[in-house]
Structure 1
Amino acid sequence: MKNIITATLVPTLASTFAFLSLTTAAPARDLSISVYGASQDAYRRLLYAPFEAKCGCKLIVEAGNSNERLAKLEARKGAPVIDLAILPDYSAVYAARKDLIDPIDVSQLSNYTKLYEFARDPIGNHYGVGYTFYATGIVYRTDKISISSWKDLWGPKLKDKLALPDISSSQGPMLLMMAERAFGGSDPAFSTGMDKVAVVKGGVVSFYSAGTELVQLFQQDEIWAAVTGRFNWPLIKRLKLPLAWASPSEGDSGGMNVMVVTKGSKNRDLALQFMDFWLSTEVQEKLAAERIDSPGNAAAQVAPEAAENLTYGEDNVRRIHLVRPDIIDQQRAGWVNTWNEKIKP
């Protein structure tokens, strides 16, 4: 009888403990993120899925362009849906000014010290952390012209053969800054740069808004030079034309994308874990290897064939003059008004 009782009780107790374990286990958590729409399949494979496996959580992804997503953050102020957002640095400045985001406790980021110095606190007060950056420079036809300075864009050979970014695009302020620098201006509002663009506007084939327009313009021999972000270079290179990325004496301009944590997020700890995972050397190298993001992690190593398509390496980093995001935030409305008066057809 003793053996029968023991045999009966053991499975019963085991079942009870199993039941208690199931009923007291913490439920799986969701982390909601707001990101750009590009390269989402690759992000899912290289970033989202590995993090979900690591954290036992689920990522809810809201994708779209930065202006639309920023508007949603503002509309949801006080009742945030998103925990972590990816924004251009100047949009993050706006978000901080509107009290839409909170400072980041960088002591919780084990990969923070691996970042380039300029990526650690790009908008001030630790409201954002830079995970990638890019150069804005000049692509040109080497069989038609030579480019050694930004001033060369104003040369007679490029009349009716030039494409420049519209002020409404992310590249517009970068163009203004480099024109300001090239022609000796020092106005934070880039008034010299604006005037110089106005001078050359009659010879500009397109003030483009989407970088994909440049592929067709080069292909049809409508343009011989264009100002664009480095992220467009892989697309343009596929044309198999005699094209090069210029190395002007003044250097290149550039911009940065940052991660921010929304004010009132209920998953701040999980957001910081995801942020740290994204900044890790391993993840940054995988994204760079597939030509998706130039690594903000200075320890990341990128093979030459991938690096050619990115803003990578000490020489490229040293050449970049980043436009201060607070200047873009302060000046953008005025730039648009002046552009419409002086430049827009």
Structure 2
Amino acid sequence: MTLSIAALACTIAGSAMAAEKTLTISVYSFAQDAYKKALYDPFEKICGCDLVIETGNSVERMAKIEANAADPVIDMAVISSQDALSLARKGLVSELDTSKLSDFAKLYPAAQDPIGGNMAVGYTFYASSIVYRKDLIDIKSWSDLLSEKLAGNVALPNITTTQGPLTLMMLAKASGNETGDYSPVISDIGKHADDIVTFFSRSSELAQLMNQEEVIAAPVGRFAWSRFKSSPLPFAWAEPAEGQAGGMNVMVMTKGNGNEELAYQLMDYWLSTEVQTRIAEALIDSPANMDVKLSDEVADNLTYGAELINSLNIIDPADILDSREGWVEQWNAEVIK
């Protein structure tokens, strides 16, 4: 009887320990059902743990990490490279031991140390270009967005969105300005503000406007292309003379969370060729792992392949952080009047 009670106590204790083996991650709200099937559920079976998934917009997620710096409630986060750099500058994320990432050498070089100091690792790239109605307009340049032919039928991203700074960069490039000073571009957008249908904050909002035929051209991230490609309307992805903009989302580990080994295990799994392939084939994210091989049909929906990735125009995350406040101030004064 005594042995039975002891055995039962051990079983209960073991179950309690298993239940306590949890990893809390902060992620984009995008495609969570698909992520559950392709990533979360398979990982939980491998690690024998529970994943706690927290979503929200970037501002909310960043604020939660900062507010709980002394006793982290988030173990790992996937965020933009500029947001990762912001956290790193505040001492809120840990330097990564890349020797614990078995497929690290398979990542595109740009993804291996995207913000410096091994404070983050890239897991997906995205291209940005202009989606347009090919039966109504032909897009040859980013400058077409502010042309007379699109007046009253174009939408631009708000400056505070991911696409905002990328659009400024490409409009500047189209005007011959590659100095990194985007104030002339913001002024130019301000002069054309009455010709712009809306300054959108979400790709879903834009898709609705384009499907209602209120907008016929706008900058779009490749991750949202499927919304337009599946439409009965004849949308096309532009290949402007200046090229495509691009960006990267990265993984970071919060400093002092006490759950580092489990976080490394998820990072390693997420970056593996197997999982990056599965996520890409589900059209969730574009792979940062160079060994991923995709069919032409799948690749057409993603930012895929060395030739494309190496050609992307990417803003240095430090430039975005150091300039963002000034951009927003000028935007509010000259564009959102």
What interval of TM-score do these two structures reach, taking the shorter chain for normalisation?
A: over 0.9
Q: Shift of the alpha carbon at 1:49?
A: 1.5
Q: Shift of the alpha carbon at 1:227?
A: 0.8
Give the 5 Å matches for 1:1-345.
27-28=17-18, 29-345=21-337
Inter-CA distance 16–208: structure 2 relative to 1 (3 Å threshold): closer
Contact 2:26 2:74 in 1 (8 A): yes
Deviation string 1:289-310 (CA, Å, 9 cap, x unpaired) is 1110011111111222222211
Deviation string 1:112-153 (CA, Å, 9 cap, x unpaired) is 111111111111101111101211110111112211211222
The Cα RMSD (Å) is 2.2
Contact 1:147 1:248 in 2 (8 A): yes
Contact 2:130 2:218 in 1 (8 A): yes
Contact 1:185 1:193 in 2 (8 A): no
**Local SS of the residue matching 1:101:** coil
Q: Shift of the alpha carbon at 1:316?
A: 2.4
Q: Shift of the alpha carbon at 1:16?
A: 11
Q: Shift of the alpha carbon at 1:246?
A: 0.4
Aligned residues: 334
Q: Which moved more, 1:249-258 or 1:300-309?
A: 300-309
- Measured in 2, the distance between the counterparts of 1:289 and 1:137 equals 22
Q: Please tell me the residue identity of whatever aligns with 2:315.
A: V
- Measured in 2, the distance between the counterparts of 1:20 and 1:231 equals 50
Deviation string 1:169-209 (CA, Å, 9 cap, x unpaired) is 11100111111111121333422332332233221111111
Deviation string 1:7-61 (CA, Å, 9 cap, x unpaired) is xxxxx99x79967975896932111111112221221221111111111111111
TM-score (norm 1): 0.91
- Measured in 1, the distance between the counterparts of 2:202 and 2:101 equals 35
Contact 1:35 1:64 in 2 (8 A): yes
Partner of 1:5: none
**Local SS of the residue matching 1:263:** coil
Contact 1:176 1:194 in 2 (8 A): yes
Q: Please tell me the residue identity of whatever aligns with 2:319.
A: I
Q: List alignment gaps of at least 5 residues for structure 1.
A: 1-11
Percent identical: 47
Contact 2:72 2:254 in 1 (8 A): yes
- Measured in 1, the distance between the counterparts of 2:54 and 2:314 equals 28
- Measured in 1, the distance between the counterparts of 2:211 and 2:41 equals 38
Q: List alignment gaps of at least 5 residues for structure 2.
A: none
Q: Which moved more, 1:55-64 or 1:287-296?
A: 55-64
Q: Shift of the alpha carbon at 1:334?
A: 1.0
Larger gyration radius, structure 1 or structure 2: 1
Q: Please tell me the residue identity of whatever aligns with 2:96.
A: I
- Measured in 2, the distance between the counterparts of 1:147 and 1:180 equals 17
- Measured in 2, the distance between the counterparts of 1:22 and 1:99 equals 41
**Local SS of the residue matching 2:198:** strand
TM-score (norm 2): 0.93
- Measured in 1, the distance between the counterparts of 2:242 and 2:5 equals 73
Q: Which moved more, 1:170-179 or 1:223-232?
A: 223-232
Q: Which moved more, 1:50-59 or 1:110-119?
A: 50-59
Q: Please tell me the residue identity of whatever aligns with 2:325.
A: A
Q: Please tell me the residue identity of whatever aligns with 2:161.
A: S
Contact 1:147 1:246 in 2 (8 A): yes
- Measured in 1, the distance between the counterparts of 2:185 and 2:98 equals 37
